[in-house]
Structure 1
Amino acid sequence: MGKIHPSHPDHELQLKCFEKPYTCDGCKQRGIGSRYRCDLCNFELHEECMFASPTAHHDFFKNSDFKFLYQPPGQEYFREDYRYCDACGQTVKGFVYHNEKNGWDLHPCCQKLPCKVPIDGVRFELCKKVLSKCHWCNKKKPDGSVSKIRGWSYVSKCNKYHIHVNCFKEMVLEGWENRACQDDCSLTLQNLELPLQRKNRNQRNGNKFSMMVKIFFKTIAAILLGDPTISLTCLLVKFLSK
C-alpha cells in the first residue's frame, strides 16, 4: 500500500525502484534507484524527503538543531539571492533542514552524511577548508557553489585524497549519461563506468585509491542519491588522466 505525503496530498506515493535518474520533487536534487512515486502525477520523492524528521542535527555543527522546512526560508535569510546547502555547496530550492540561529542549510540527503568514514586503514573526514584540489574535478571550489559556501569535502587523514561531496553524486550521474547503451534504462549501476580523474600518476597509489573509492562509493553516493539500497561495490572505476 502507498503512503500520503503532505506535499502531495491527493494521491498515495508508492515505493518504486528504477535505475533511471530522477529529480526529487521535494528537495529538487537528483536521485537514482528507489524512490516514492505517484505514477498519475509523475511525482517522486527521495526516501529522506518522504520521511523527513521535524528536527535534525549534524555532528559537523556541534550542539545545533535544524528544523525541516518545505521551502527555503524567506528573503531576510538569503545569501547572494539564493540559499546554498552547506554540505554540497549547491542551491537549495525545496525541502531543507535549516538552522535559524546561524543561517545554515542542509539538503535532506546531505544531512545524513557521516563525519568520518574509515576505509581499509585510511580514515576520510568531512572538512570545510582544504588545501589540495579534488581528485575528480581537479578544482578547489566545486562547480555551482559560491565563494562563501563551497561545500564540504571528504579528505583522507593523510591528506593525499580529497573529493568534493557534490562530486560523488556528479560522478555517478555522469557515468549514467555516458553509459554504452543510451536506450537501455535497465542498465544496473554495477555496470556503470565512472569517469574518476586521478591526480596522482603513480600506479601503486592509483590502485590503492581505486580500491578505497569502490568501497567509499557504497556509502557516500548512496546517501547523496537518496537510495540506501544501492550497491556500488562492483562499480567499474575508470581513471582518466589529463
Structure 2
Amino acid sequence: MKYSEITHFSHPQHKLRSEYTEVPFKCDGCKEVGIGSRYKCCTCDFDLHLHCALPSPSIIHPFYRKCSFQFLSRPPGNIPRFCNACEKDVTGFVYHCKLCGFDLHPCCAKLPRVLDDGDMKLYLYRKVSASCHKCGRKGRSWSYRSKCKKYNLHVACAREMLVESWHELYFGRGCSHATSHGGTTTFKKLETRIPSIKGTLENHHHSKSKAKKCCEMAGMAIQFIISAVLGDPTAMIAGVIGTLIRS
C-alpha cells in the first residue's frame, strides 16, 4: 500500500512525502540509484525507494523457496556482502537469510517476474544459458530474457551500466551541484545518459539491417529492465530511461 506521507525509522526528524521524479537520485536506505516514485524529505534532501520506505518485515523469494529473508537496516557482520541478484555490494538496507547467508537489495528482492510493455514480455530467471547482450557471458547473475529468447540482459550488467553513467551520484547529494564564477553561482546538472550499447549489440551480427532491428528490440528490453532495477518498473519511467539511453 502506498501512502502520501510517512514517518520512517531511518529518518525520524521529518516526515517523508511521496513524489515522482524523472531525475536519478541516490536512495539513503539501500545506497543505490533510483528514479521515478520515491519518498522524500524536502528539508534534508533525504530519499528512499518505495521498497526501502515500505519494506516487508520478511519475504520468501520464489528463487530461494527454502530461505526466509528478513529485512535489516544494515548488512549483518563485519565482512563485505553482495547481492545475490545483481552481484553488487550491499552497503545499506538489505533482505538477509540467516540460514543460507544470501542477501538481496530491496529493489532486487522485489524485481517483477514478468515485465510486459504490451509488445514485449521479459521474464526473470535465476540463471540463463544464453549469452548476455551487454557482456556476452552466460550464467552470472539473475537475468531478464525475452519471450522469443533472443534478448537477454544480466541484472548485474544493468547495474554496471548505471554505475558507469551515474558515478557522480555516489559523491554528492541532489540532482545538481553549485559552482562559482566571479561571484555568480551556476548549477551543473549531473550526467544522466546511460552509455549506449549499440556497438556491443552490432558486434553480434554480420548484417547491418539485422543489427539495427536487434538494437531496437534490445533497446526496448533494456529500458524496462533498467527501470525495474531502479525500483520503478512502469511504462512511464521506462520511456524516460529510453531518452537517457539514446546518445
2:84 is aligned with 1:86: yes
Q: Name the CA shift for 1:123/1:29 in 2 (closer, same or farther; >3 Å).
A: closer
Compute the RMSD of aligned alpha carbons: 3.5
Q: Name the CA shift for 1:127/1:3 in 2 (closer, same or farther; >3 Å).
A: closer
What's the TM-score once normalised by structure 1's chain length? 0.72
How much has 1:186 moved relative to structure 2? 11
Could you list the runs of 5+ residues in structure 2 that have no partner in the other structure?
Answer: 168-186
Query: Of 46, 50, 66, which aligns to 1:47?
Result: 50
Q: Name the CA shift for 1:238/1:14 in 2 (closer, same or farther; >3 Å).
A: closer
Q: Name the CA shift for 1:57/1:216 in 2 (closer, same or farther; >3 Å).
A: farther
Q: Which residue in 2 is equivalent to 1:100? A: 98
Q: Which residue in 2 is equivalent to 1:168? A: 158
Preserved contact between residue 107 and residue 231 of structure 2 (Cα < 8 Å): yes
Q: Residue type of the partner of 1:162?
A: N
Preserved contact between residue 175 and residue 195 of structure 1 (Cα < 8 Å): no
Query: Of 31, 36, 39, which aligns to 2:34?
Result: 31
Could you list the runs of 5+ residues in structure 1 that have no partner in the other structure?
Answer: 76-80, 142-149, 178-182
Q: Residue type of the partner of 1:101?
A: L
Q: Which residue in 2 is equivalent to 1:3? A: 6
Structure 1 segment 143-182 matched on structure 2, within 5 A: 150-156=140-146, 160-171=150-161
What's the TM-score once normalised by structure 2's chain length? 0.71
More helix by share: 2
2:227 is aligned with 1:222: yes
Q: Which residue in 2 is equivalent to 1:195? A: 196
After superposition, give the CA deviation of every residue in 1:209-230 in whole Å (9 maximum; x if it has no partner).
3343344345422221123454
Preserved contact between residue 32 and residue 226 of structure 1 (Cα < 8 Å): yes
Q: Name the CA shift for 1:156/1:218 in 2 (closer, same or farther; >3 Å).
A: closer
Q: Name the CA shift for 1:48/1:193 in 2 (closer, same or farther; >3 Å).
A: closer
Q: Residue type of the partner of 2:204?
A: N
Q: Which secondary structure state, in structure 1, belongs to the residue aligned with residue 196 of structure 2? A: strand
Q: Which residue in 2 is equivalent to 1:64? A: 67
Q: Which residue in 1 is equivalent to 2:16? A: 13
Structure 1 segment 127-146 matched on structure 2, within 5 A: 127-128=126-127, 130=129, 132=131, 134-138=132-136
Q: Which residue in 1 is equivalent to 2:238? A: 232
Paired residue total: 219
In 1, Cα distance between the equivalents of 2:97 and 2:215?
A: 37
Q: Name the CA shift for 1:174/1:91 in 2 (closer, same or farther; >3 Å).
A: closer
Q: Residue type of the partner of 2:158?
A: F
Percent sequence identity is 40
Q: Name the CA shift for 1:155/1:226 in 2 (closer, same or farther; >3 Å).
A: closer
Q: Which secondary structure state, in structure 1, belongs to the residue aligned with residue 238 of structure 2? A: coil
Preserved contact between residue 131 and residue 140 of structure 1 (Cα < 8 Å): yes
Q: Residue type of the partner of 2:82?
A: Y
